[in-house]
Chain A
Amino acid sequence: SQKIEQNSEALNIQEGKTATLTCNYTNYSPAYLQWYRQDPGRGPVFLLLIRENEKEKRKERLKVTFDTTLKQSLFHITASQPADSATYLCALVDGAGKSTFGDGTTLTVKP
């Protein structure tokens, strides 16, 4: 069955460092992969999308890589700030538009 795993439920880092979050999947052939940010009690907010034929995408301090051979995406936040503290979700979308979300990684950036 399809499975998405995001690294450790919680990640704690110091302000200014780079946070790296991992999303691994099995038994899935996604058309594209998305990363979202979710704050407690609120809806997810879209951050970045990367397609199966793309290796890397950047947006300001955010960078996403996608390795379809390893079946893995890495999400990087450089120069992290306490305001980056949130839960980050990865989602895989197949060609029919069906989305499958990971359980998320909770990032805490300490000042």
Chain B
Amino acid sequence: DSGVTQTPKHLITATGQRVTLRCSPRSGDLSVYWYQQSLDQGLQFLIHYYNGEERAKGNILERFSAQQFPDLHSELNLSSLELGDSALYFCASSVKLAGEVGTDTQYFGPGTRLTVL
């Protein structure tokens, strides 16, 4: 158990809908990262938040948005869902800002499996 929790574990929805995925980082971790993993794309970095502020953006679609709240939990919002959005969505956390000396480990949560029908 990494200490990172994600809810829900599974989510089945229809095209055009909007969903929210939730992540609670390990206690004390200020950084939260979101990743998408699909069979044909591998693990793709979406976005990184540090202590409530967006710090790096990857291949995140405009239909997707995220935020990190004062209590450090994070939500990933996916809207106007398409079939191709079906994937595993992982959240990871780490103590410090990525790139800082001493940032050695990202702890991944168990993931949310999203199925868009």
Contacts and interface: CB of A to CB of B under 8 A. Distances in A.
A39 B31 CA distance: 24
B45 A99 contact: yes
Contact of B58 (A95, A99, A102, A103): A99
A13 to B, nearest CB: 23
Contact of B2 (A43, A98, A99): A43
Interface string B88-117: 001010000111000011111111000000
A45 B2 CA distance: 8
B22 interface: no
Nearest to B55: A97
Q: Main secondary structure on chain A at its contact with chain B?
A: loop
- Indicate the size class of the contact surface on chain B: 20 to 34
B104 A98 contact: no
B109 A97 contact: no
Given A95-B99, A96-B99, A46 B107 contact: yes
Given A49-B104, A97-B48, A97-B55, A44 B43 contact: yes
Nearest to B50: A97
Interface in B4-60: 4, 33, 35, 42-45, 48, 55-58
23 contacts: A31-B99, A32-B99, A42-B110, A43-B109, A44-B108, A46-B106, A49-B104, A49-B105, A89-B43, A95-B99, A96-B55, A96-B56, A97-B48, A97-B55, A97-B56, A97-B97, A97-B99, A98-B45, A99-B45, A100-B58, A101-B44, A104-B42, A104-B43
Interface of A: 31-32, 34, 41-46, 49, 89, 91, 93-104
Given A32-B99, A43-B90, 20 more contacts: A42-B111, A43-B2, A43-B4, A43-B109, A43-B110, A44-B90, A44-B92, A45-B108, A46-B105, A93-B98, A96-B56, A97-B97, A97-B99, A98-B57, A98-B58, A99-B33, A101-B35, A101-B44, A101-B45, A104-B43
